[in-house]
Amino acid sequence: MALTKRQKQVVDFIAGFIRRNGYSPSFEEIAEELGLASLATVHKHLTALENKRYLKRSFNQSRALDLGPEYYRGLSRQRKEAALAAQETPLLGTIAAGQPIETYPDPETLSFADFTAAEHVYALRVRGESMIEDHIMDGDYVLVEKTDRVSNGDIVVALVEGVESTLKRFYRQGKDQVRLQPANASLEPIVMPLSSVEIQGRVLAVHRRYH
């Protein structure tokens, strides 16, 4: 059963008091902390919390309040929700898989639980079909590790000439050139000086949604 705002304040205070002190607060301490008018008001809130199974009381003992099963059930639910939130990855924008386009921040998150242990990971939405032979389709999401340390053949996020980003396979050509290779036989690679390309990340995984 849902708690009122005041009931939640009471049970949260009791839980924190027990956690800090190892025993429950008195009626007087509850009233003082929460600014309640009388001990009768405290008793009313405690009775309601007991009926909702957020508290347990032993009437023959001093400081005999204890937390009930519904409190622990709610706490478990909050921890699960926090764990799921910790597995969400920022969705920073859209990445071109055709001609390079400028990207913009997008205030969303995606959940990639298998990869969230890695640091500096973000997601991008793919636009275009230049990587279809690597099974990366228009509308897919790619999970990217933010790094500039990549090897030949890695699928990378490349910032071209400081303003445009694209998704391609990376190959060095000699000492000072780079080839950004599409995975689509109908498209030509992008070949340019290495100094004109900034590697912003390496693709870790592809996520596809079916409707």
- 143 sits in which H/E element: strand 141-145
Catalytic residue among 76, 146, 168, 175: 168
Answer yes or no: are the C-beta atoms of 200 and 148 closer than 8 Å: yes
Q: Is 201 helix (H, G, I), strand (E, B) or coil?
A: strand
Tally the C-alpha atoms within 13 A of residue 201's C-alpha that lie toward its C-beta: 20
Judge whether 168 counts as a catalytic residue. yes
Q: Check: CB of residue 112 under 8 Å from CB of residue 141.
A: no
Which residues sit opposite 141 in a β-bridge? 125, 207
| Annotated active-site residue in 38, 130, 186, 195 | 130
Which pair of tokens denotes residue 132? 């279809």
130 is catalytic: yes
Residues classed as catalytic: 130, 168
